[in-house]
A = this chain, B = another copy of it.
């Protein structure tokens, strides 16, 4: 539940806005000018009532009997997501994953810009990734302030993550995306999104175990529901 100005938007709705935006941009690329809640929902992987309800939290964008204009809805959602303002990222931890994240090409198109790479390992510091020099994490606070970093991506191992996160917050950053396998304890006004690849695999493993416990034999064979 997130307050923005007068209105309140459910967190679950916010988490789906990126899907809608992605689908709308695909439509633009295909040269489609108008769409409906059912088409857009289908492309986004949600139900059409869900989509209409989600949009209703932000305002009223469609035309009854007709649908939505792709361009205007797309710009509206992009604006709601705060794209358009420039978001300056620092990536802390330039191992396998940090390296891959630095090289990810989708940032620019979406209003994000990587302005610093930091690591603690002397073997990595001084090197380059994606054309950016890797600097020592000791200078984290200075770099955040000088380069107006507004979001930090944590791609460090678990143990140093809490300490680095605290330093990041003390330097003024309030939005953190963490890939570190630990629960971060930070002030309530800091927003942390965590991505845990090992955890996702474990969730899949739970489903696989449930499937077997419920007695599915061969691939392709299905258990009749209830």
Q: Which residues of A contact B (CB under 8 A)?
A: 2-5, 14-15, 17-19, 21-23, 43-45, 80-83, 85, 87, 89, 96-97, 99-101, 103-104, 106-107, 110-112, 150-151, 171-177, 181-185, 189, 191, 193, 195-214, 219-220, 222-223
Min CB distance, A115 to chain B, in Å? Answer: 14
> Does B81 contact A17, Cβ atoms closer than 8 Å?
no
Q: How many copies does the complex hold?
A: 2
The answer to whether B202 and A3 have CB atoms under 8 Å apart is: no
B96 touches A100 (CB 8 A): yes
How far in angstroms is the closest Cβ of chain B from A99? 7
Instruction: Tell me which of A81, A172, A214 has the highest count of chain B C-beta atoms within 10 A of its own C-beta.
Output: A81
A59 nearest CB across to chain B (Å): 14
CB of A205 within 8 A of CB of B103, answer: no
Which of A22, A171, A172, A177 gathers most chain B CB within 10 Å?
Answer: A22
Chain B residues within 8 Å of A99, by CB: 96, 100
